Amino acid sequence: MASPSSRAVAVGGALLLLLVFAVPTTFLYLTSAPAVSSPSLLLNLKPFGARCAPAAAAAPPLRVFMYDLPRRFHVGMMGASASGFPAWPPSAGGIRRQHSVEYWMMASLQGGGGGGNGSSEEEGREAVRVTDPDAAEAFFVPFFSSLSFNVHGRNMTDPETEADRLLQVELMEILWKSKYWQRSAGRDHVIPMHHPNAFRFLRDMVNASILIVADFGRYTKELASLRKDVVAPYVHVVDSFLNDDPPDPFDARPTLLFFRGRTVRKDEGKIRAKLAKILKGKDGVRFEDSLATGEGIKTSTEGMRSSKFCLHPAGDTPSSCRLFDAIVSHCVPVIVSSRIELPFEDEIDYSEFSLFFSVEEALRPDYLLNQLRQIQKTKWVEIWSKLKNVSHHYEFQNPPRKGDAVNMIWRQVKHKVPAVNLAIHRNRRLKIPDWWG
């Protein structure tokens, strides 16, 4: 029988051989593969679904039931005739057009009623109207709250704003009587509220609903959030640049940086006056104070189309229509706004076609202009090309087209539905207030 010492020597030799042959193999395996945390590798990875799953059929459109509200809640405020759904009047520009998302969403449902059965009429649509509320996944409330704010009274202290308040009161009475509102506490209801002062009297009564907003500048965290609500683009007021195909796009835009708009604003918008002092008169810069008149919009159109970069500082709220005017003009946005939220950001990477500066950076003398001047021609053309490629996502039209702004908004609503259903189903079985919250 072998002694304990000889057995120990044998075991030690075996382990040594194992290490000699196994360690190089393991080391080779570990070092031959790139590190998972390598930034370059992560940037080149396709989405998980694209790497691991076969191409799936297009998802069916969201089934939407639209409340049949009296015309005074929507198109009646446009001065429309007593029948039919009107086209958006070309003369209704400026602030009314900027926040007309509610109109275009309602328009997109006018041709529905097919039940979401995948017909050719529904191809490319992200939402289709159903006439049976029990078949609906979401409920659209066609109250033009932004237009109501702009139509009823010139400012928030005007006595005529009482008409806006009464419409909100009447609407809530209608919703409270609906069994579909009652069963979900309004969670699966979609309510456009794009103007920062829209629905201002009774906002707290719809705080569980899916709100369509421009940003969160005038909403409390209890009322609105990215978790449940949808950030929608402004409707651009300048014409889209459809034939933007010059031989040399860089030299075709001689102005380095363009801004045209009101410089005296509230809240975050106070930065505009400060930027004016820094940028006005600088070489390559057009910084002009103006109002959104018809002639002013024409001048802005020409200015954006002849500029490489368009400045987008905050307005009275973190966002403004100017950003989307720049996008459809293919003028690379330069965004200076600390609290801005952007539409469709789960699908679109704005850093690929926009530049972002903090307020502190923008107010540092010459810093912003020096950064812009350092961007080489080839890099700018690359950014400009990506901007052109995404600009169709910011077009509002009727009927909607695949991938346009209206369909993108409805797709964002569709993304919210699973969380909405989770909340509804949990609420039905909870015996105490939601302990998780």
Q: In this predicted model, which residue has the larger pLDDT, 176 or 122? A: 176
Name the segment(s) of the chain with CATH classification 3.40.50.2000: 255-393
Sheet bearing 355-356, strands edge to edge: 285-289, 255-261, 307-313, 332-336, 355-356
- pLDDT(429) > 80: yes
- Residue whose C-alpha is closest to residue 331's, from 256, 398, 281: 256
Query: Contact, 201 vs 181, CB < 8 A?
Result: no
Q: Which two tokens stand for residue 351?
A: 């850093």
| CB atoms inside a 10 Å sphere around CB 109 | 22
Cα 58 from Cα 411, distance rounded (Å): 12
Query: Contact, 215 vs 193, CB < 8 A?
Result: no
How confident is the model at residue 85, as a pLDDT? 92
Q: In this predicted model, which residue has the larger pLDDT, 297 or 127? A: 127
Query: Contact, 241 vs 253, CB < 8 A?
Result: no
Helix (H, G, I), strand (E, B) or coil at 261: strand
- Residue whose C-alpha is closest to residue 385's, from 251, 185, 250: 250
| Span 262-266, average pLDDT | 69
| Span 419-436, average pLDDT | 81
Percent of the chain surpassing pLDDT 70: 81
- In which band, very low, low, confident or very high, does the pLDDT at 268 lie, cut at 50, 70 and 90? low
How confident is the model at residue 436, as a pLDDT? 59
- Residue whose C-alpha is closest to residue 190's, from 374, 411, 434, 361: 411
- pLDDT(147) > 90: yes
Residue with tokens 């923008």: 362
Sheet bearing 230-231, strands edge to edge: 127-129, 62-66, 138-140, 189-192, 210-213, 230-231
Q: Which two tokens stand for residue 23?
A: 């360690």
Residue 42's Cβ-count burial label (10 Å; 0-12, 13-18, 19+) is exposed
- In which band, very low, low, confident or very high, does the pLDDT at 19 lie, cut at 50, 70 and 90? very low
- Predicted confidence (pLDDT) per residue in 361-412, tens digit: 999 999 999 999 999 999 999 999 999 999 999 999 999 999 999 999 999 9
Element (DSSP H or E) covering residue 287: strand 285-289
Cα 221 from Cα 224, distance rounded (Å): 5
Helix (H, G, I), strand (E, B) or coil at 201: coil
Q: Specify the range with the lowest mean pLDDT, choosing from 36-50, 194-208, 260-274.
A: 36-50
Residue type, 390: V
Omega before 90 within 30 of 0, i.e. cis:
no
Query: Contact, 208 vs 187, CB < 8 A?
Result: yes
Q: Which two tokens stand for residue 289?
A: 């104070």
Q: Which two tokens stand for residue 53?
A: 């799953």
Domain 255-393 annotated CATH 3.40.50.300: no
- Radius of gyration of the chain measured on its C-alpha atoms: 28
Query: Contact, 158 vs 117, CB < 8 A?
Result: no
| Span 85-112, average pLDDT | 89
- pLDDT(153) > 90: no
Q: Which two tokens stand for residue 303?
A: 């200015």
User: What pTM, to 2 d.p., does this model score?
Assistant: 0.83
- pLDDT(278) > 60: yes
Per-residue DSSP letter, 14: H
Q: Specify the range with the lowest mean pLDDT, choosing from 15-19, 116-120, 332-336, 356-360.
A: 15-19
Residue with tokens 């500066």: 357
Query: Contact, 250 vs 308, CB < 8 A?
Result: yes
| Span 42-67, average pLDDT | 64
Give DSSP secondary structure letters for 205-256: GGTTSEEEES-STT--TTT--TTT-EE-PPPP-SPP------S-TTTT--EE
End-to-end CA distance of the chain: 70
How confident is the model at residue 23, as a pLDDT? 41
- pLDDT(260) > 60: yes
- In which band, very low, low, confident or very high, does the pLDDT at 338 lie, cut at 50, 70 and 90? confident
How confident is the model at residue 262, as a pLDDT? 83
- In which band, very low, low, confident or very high, does the pLDDT at 253 lie, cut at 50, 70 and 90? very high
How confident is the model at residue 122, as a pLDDT? 56
How confident is the model at residue 43, as a pLDDT? 39
